[in-house]
Homo-oligomer: A and B are copies of this chain.
Amino acid sequence: MTALDGVLKRVDGNLDQAIRRLFDLVRIPSISTDPAHAADCVRAADWLVADLKGMGFEARAAATAGHPMVVAHHCRAPGKPHVLFYGHYDVQPVDPLHLWKRPPFEPAVIEAGTGRQLTGRGTSDDKGQLMTFVEAARMWIAETGSLPLNVTILFEGEEESGSPSLVPFLRKHRKELKAEYALVCDTGMWDRNSPCITTALRGLVGEEVTIRAANRDLHSGMYGSAARNPIHVLADILASLHDAKGRLTLPGFYKGEPETPKAVLAQWKKLKGQERKFLTDIGLSVAAGEKGRSLLEMTWARPTAEVNGISGGYTGDGFKTVIASEAKAKVSFRLVGTQDPDAVRASFRAHVKKRLPRDCKATFAPHGGSPAIRLDPKMPALAKAAGALKDEWGKAATLTAMGGSIPVVGYFQSVLAMQSLLVGFGLDDDRIHSPNEKYELASFHRGTRSWARILQALAKS
Seen from chain A, the residues whose Cβ lies within 8 Å of a Cβ on chain B are 32-35, 92-93, 95-96, 99, 160-162, 202, 204, 206, 208, 213-229, 231-232, 234-236, 238-240, 242, 246, 278-279, 282-290, 295, 298-299, 302, 304-324, 327-330, 332, 334, 357-359, 367-368, 402-405, 428, 431-436
Task: Establish whether residues B225 and A246, one from each chain, have CB atoms under 8 Å apart when the complex forms.
Answer: yes
Task: Establish whether residues A288 and B226, one from each chain, have CB atoms under 8 Å apart when the complex forms.
Answer: yes
A219 to B368 Cα, complex, angstroms: 16
- Nearest first, the 6 closest Cβ-Cβ pairs linking A and B are A221-B404, A33-B318, A215-B283, A309-B313, A225-B289, A239-B239
Which B residues lie within 8 Å of A246 (CB)? 225
Report 18 cross-chain contacts, Cβ distance below 8 Å, ordered by A residue. Answer: A33-B318, A99-B216, A213-B284, A220-B308, A220-B332, A221-B402, A223-B282, A223-B403, A224-B306, A224-B332, A225-B305, A226-B298, A228-B284, A308-B322, A309-B315, A315-B330, A319-B330, A319-B332
Given A228-B286, A239-B236, answer yes or no on A315-B310 (Cβ-Cβ < 8 Å).
Answer: yes
- Copies held by the complex: 2
Task: Establish whether residues A322 and B433, one from each chain, have CB atoms under 8 Å apart when the complex forms.
Answer: yes
Which B residues lie within 8 Å of A309 (CB)? 231, 312-315, 320, 322, 324
Known A235-B307, A321-B404; 8 more pairs at CB < 8 Å: A221-B403, A222-B428, A224-B306, A225-B304, A225-B305, A228-B284, A229-B306, A308-B314
A403 to B227 Cα, complex, angstroms: 12
Which B residues lie within 8 Å of A283 (CB)? 213-216, 359
